[in-house]
Amino acid sequence: MKKLMIVFIVFIGFVCANAQTFKTVVVIPGDAAIYVNNELLGKGKYDVSFENRDKVLLTFSAVGYETVSYYLLSSHTEQTVTYRLDVDEAYENSIGGETATQYANRWVPITVREGLSKDEVWMRIMSIVRENFEQIEKTDKSSGWIKTFPAITPYKASDVRTTLEISPSYSTGILQYKVRLSFEKRKKGSGEEGWVKYDRILKRYKDVIPDLLNSVGGGM
């Protein structure tokens, strides 16, 4: 009987030690990338080792979901730990692909079509700008330069700010403009230093450049 008790105690000790050495991490959605201490080690599910350490940094990312990081302790009471990622609202409300490649964060040339006076071009441009942006930081009719204040669109876990810039460009006597829609994104609470370039176009601004091309240029 005493020997059985000793074996049982040893077995329990082994199970507890093993539970402290490994934890199974499950992430929803199942295709989410799992980084352990900034190293990509799996997708959806992974057995995390705590050998010679009492905690690890976990980071999870998936297209269309917010990227998050957590510290997981070896002393965590559950053997299997499940994380559910929040939907990225900015992603849901934006456009990627070819449209973003063409128009996001890059200068787009607009050649003014014949028959439009400079005053008429300026009036049309300003009309489109005011339809989409409430505040304009700089405007100079004589030079043709326009820049809006950054317009911040808030979401649950992040913010996206959008800036429109328009400037004239003369080529062989033909009046041209160039326009840029800049997008930046930050996590909530990350402050001014948290802004990074966002290579997608918010749906609310998807028609700005096409409208400019159609209104004063030769179309798309």
Query: Which stretches of 89-173 are assigned E, i.e. beta strand?
Result: 94-95, 108-111, 136-140, 145-148, 151-154, 158-171
- Residue 134: phi and psi, rounded to 5, are -80, -35
C-alpha 181/C-alpha 132 separation (Å) is 12
2-87 and 91-216 agree in CATH topology? no
Q: Does domain 91-216 have CATH number 3.30.530.50?
A: yes
Q: Does domain 2-87 have CATH number 2.60.40?
A: yes
Classified as helix, coil or strand, 111 is strand
Q: What is the pLDDT along the chain (220 residues), one digit of tens a residue?
A: 544 444 334 334 444 444 458 899 999 999 999 999 999 999 999 999 888 889 999 999 999 999 999 999 988 889 999 999 999 999 999 999 999 999 999 999 999 988 898 899 999 999 999 999 999 999 999 888 999 999 999 999 999 999 999 998 876 677 889 999 999 999 998 999 999 999 999 999 999 999 999 999 876 5
CB-CB contact of 125 with 166 (8 Å)? yes
Cα–Cα distances (Å) from 118 to 110, 112, 126, 202, in that order, read 14, 9, 12, 30
Domain ranges in the chain?
A: 2-87, 91-216
Q: Using alpha carbons only, what angle is made at residue 208 by residues 129 and 191, rounded to the nearest 5 degrees? A: 80
Structural tokens at position 22: 């490994």
CB-CB contact of 161 with 135 (8 Å)? no
pTM of the full structure: 0.80
C-alpha 162/C-alpha 180 separation (Å) is 10
Instruction: Tell me which DSSP letter residue 55 carries.
Output: E
CB-CB contact of 93 with 162 (8 Å)? no
Question: Across the strands, what pairs with 108?
Answer: 179
For residue 14, the tally of other CB atoms under 10 A from its CB is: 10
